[in-house]
Structures are given as C-alpha cells and as structure tokens.
Amino acid sequence: MVAEGILELTLGASDGSRLPEWRAGAHVDLVLPLADAEGEPLLRPYSLCGDVADRFTYRLGILREPAGRGGSAWVHDHVKVGDELAVSPPRNHFPFAMDERVLFIAGGIGITPILPMVRKAIFDSMEWRLIVAARTTARLPFREELAHLPQDRVRLHCSEESGMLDLKALLAPLGPETTVYSCGPAPLLDALQALNQGAQWHLKIERFAAAKQPKAENQPFDVICKASAKRLHVPADKSLLEVLKGAGIKVDSSCRDGVCGTCETRVLSGTPCHRDSVLSPDERAEGTYMMVCVSRAKSDVLELDI
Ligand code: FES
C-alpha cells in the first residue's frame, strides 16, 4: 500500500523479457478476469508511474474505488504476488513535451502519470514545480518517493488541514512560458479549465471521469469500416461502438465514457462529432482519430480504418 486505499502493483513479463518502451504520461490496460456489461473481459486503464528507463517492470498505482465498476476492488482483493494478468501495450494520451516552465498539479492518485514527467523534467534540467493535493496526509500516495524530490520545488497540500487549494492565486502570476500538467478528480480539472479560459498559460490534463459535455441530440449516420469491408447504419439510439461490436467488428473498449482512449480509432474520411474527454482541442480539429464509444458523426457518412 502506498497510501490509504492505494496499492502499488509491479508487473514484469512472465518470461522475464523486456517490456515495450513507453514515455511519461502513458498508461496500460489491465485485462481483468471479470465480465463487462457485454460479457467481454473487463479492461481497466492505469497510468504507468515507474521509471521509463526500467525495461523490465511496469509500476501502477491503483486506488480502490468503491463506487467504480468493480475493477479496482477486484485488483485490491484478489491479485497476489506471482499472479499472471494480461496487459495491453502502453498507450499515451497525455504526452509530456519540452515546455519552458512546467507546473505539475496532481490530485491524489492523479500523481501516477505525473511522477514520470517530474523525473523527465529533472533529467532534462527543466524549470518545474509540483503540487500534490489530497484530502489527508494518509491519502497522499508515494510520499516516500516525493520526499526524495528537491523539496524547494514540491508542495504537498492536505485540504483537511489547510483548506482548498487556492488555484486562482496560484495560477495568476503564470505567463505564456508555463504549461500546467494536471491529473486528478473532476472538480480540480474543471476549475483549471475554467481558469485557463483567456489566460496566457497552457493547460494539459488527463481525466479519470468524463467531462460534462454540452447537451446534443444524436443524429443517425452511416459508417464505412474500410478494413472489414462493411457499411453500417448507426441509429440515434445506439452508440457507434455498439453498432461496430454488433456487426462483429473487434474494437477494444474499457470505460465506454470517452475517458480512457482505449477505443481510439482512425478516421479516414467524414467529420467526427467529438464527445470524449481525451483529445485536445487541436486533435479534435484535426479529426484524424475519434473515440467510438461516445463520439458520433457530423457528416452523413464516416469512414473508419477498422
Ligand atoms: Fe474509453 Fe472509449 S472505451 S474512451
């Protein structure tokens, strides 16, 4: 256990071989021996929090979420040292760039994708600061690891002791040279997005739960699945993912809420109507990829590389 309700899982290949490379911000999907709503194995995404230079182990931090869909509770209650689990290769929807100045803001378990970014920032002698917030000290994960970071750059904030983090005061002095990377609960990320409106600093976030989307009516559309040579109709009352799966087309999915990025699919033509919480505004505008669990089409026909 690395904090109250949070366990650390260290994974290695069962044959001892090297694991696929990854970069800060990446996650893997754990394939759990539980069935999801459609009877398929439950996939759960977890950020990699270990060292990118370690080619033989992946480290994950897993918060027990009593109100979740059972994946984290199963890991807490059933996984034992030596067990075998299937794991997807790493994917990265939260890439870390060489920004001039960086402010990391982690809320609780949101520290997991941030830790490798901090190591990278130290390695590259970047200008960085880290704020880790949690309700209580006991819920602050990886405290030992955090204690080894340069303490003049790290601030641990417990809201039960010090009240809510004053984000407005914290962010007011930041200029266009600063990028804020944040991961944590929705209220933290919603507040950051609101404060970022019209501000000069840049914001990159990763969510665990879907952001509120503006209400929009579903329109029916057709989808052409190029690799499967199929044309399908997506009615207003079904998701694109449901229609694809119903036609026997294999698409990995996990959250089905537009948060994890597992169902990301390449768009060959047509205009997606993005409703996910993964793609950045630039990526949405490019329209090259879409999350088929929640996103739909603005055009009458979408062509997908699937
Ligand atoms: Fe998670 Fe689609 S299944 S984004």
What SS3 class is residue 89? coil
Instruction: For ligand 1, say whether the CB of 258 is within 6 Å of any of its atoms.
Output: yes
Instruction: For ligand 1, say whether the CB of 167 is within 6 Å of any of its atoms.
Output: no
Distance CA 64, CA 67 (A): 9
Instruction: For ligand 1, say whether the CB of 254 is within 6 Å of any of its atoms.
Output: yes
* Spacing, Cα 13 to ligand 1 middle (Å): 26
pLDDT, residue 214, reads: 78
Average pLDDT, the chain: 94
Q: What is the pLDDT of residues 58-69, one digit of tens each?
A: 999 999 998 877
- CB distance 207 to 45 below 8 Å: no
10 pLDDT band (50/70/90 cuts)? very high
What SS3 class is residue 144? helix
Q: Which residue has the CA at smallest separation from atom 4 of ligand 1? A: 258
Average pLDDT over residues 210-228: 90
Look up the pTM and report it.
0.90
Average pLDDT over residues 103-129: 97
198 pLDDT band (50/70/90 cuts)? very high
Instruction: For ligand 1, say whether the CB of 140 is within 6 Å of any of its atoms.
Output: no
pLDDT, residue 98, reads: 79
Q: How far is CA 98 from the centre of its chain?
A: 20
What SS3 class is residue 146? helix
Q: What is the pLDDT of residues 11-23, one digit of tens each?
A: 999 999 999 999 9
Q: Read out DSSP for 111-137?
A: HHHHHHHHHHHHHTT-EEEEEEEESSG
Q: Kind of pairing, strands 27-35 and 41-47?
A: antiparallel
pLDDT at 37 over 80: no
41 pLDDT band (50/70/90 cuts)? confident
pLDDT, residue 168, reads: 96
Q: Which helix H or strand E contains 303, and what residues bound it?
A: strand 301-304
241 pLDDT band (50/70/90 cuts)? very high
- CB distance 49 to 146 below 8 Å: no
The first and second tokens of residue 297, run together, are: 């089409």
* Location of structure tokens 């990320």: 189
Average pLDDT over residues 244-256: 91
- Which CB contacts under 8 angstroms, 24+ apart, belong to 78-81? 79/9
Ligand 1, residue 276: give the atom nearest the CA. 4
What are 266's strand-pairing partners? 289
> DSSP assignment, residue 153?
G
Mutate to test the pocket of ligand 1, among 42, 257, 289, 306 (most ligand atoms within 8 A of CB): 257
40 pLDDT band (50/70/90 cuts)? confident
pLDDT at 213 over 80: no
Instruction: For ligand 1, say whether the CB of 255 is within 6 Å of any of its atoms.
Output: yes
Distance CA 271, CA 142 (A): 43
Give the residue among 1, 6, 7, 13 at the shortest CA–CA distance from 87: 13
Average pLDDT over residues 165-169: 96
Q: What is the pLDDT of residues 58-97, one digit of tens each?
A: 999 999 998 877 889 999 999 999 999 999 999 999 999 9
CA distances from 289 to 28, 58, 107, 136, 256 (A): 19, 27, 28, 39, 16
Backbone angles phi, psi at 90, to 5 degrees: -65, 145
Q: What is the pLDDT of residues 266-302, one digit of tens each?
A: 999 999 999 999 998 889 999 999 999 999 999 999 9
Give the residue among 279, 132, 141, 259 at the shortest CA–CA distance from 208: 259
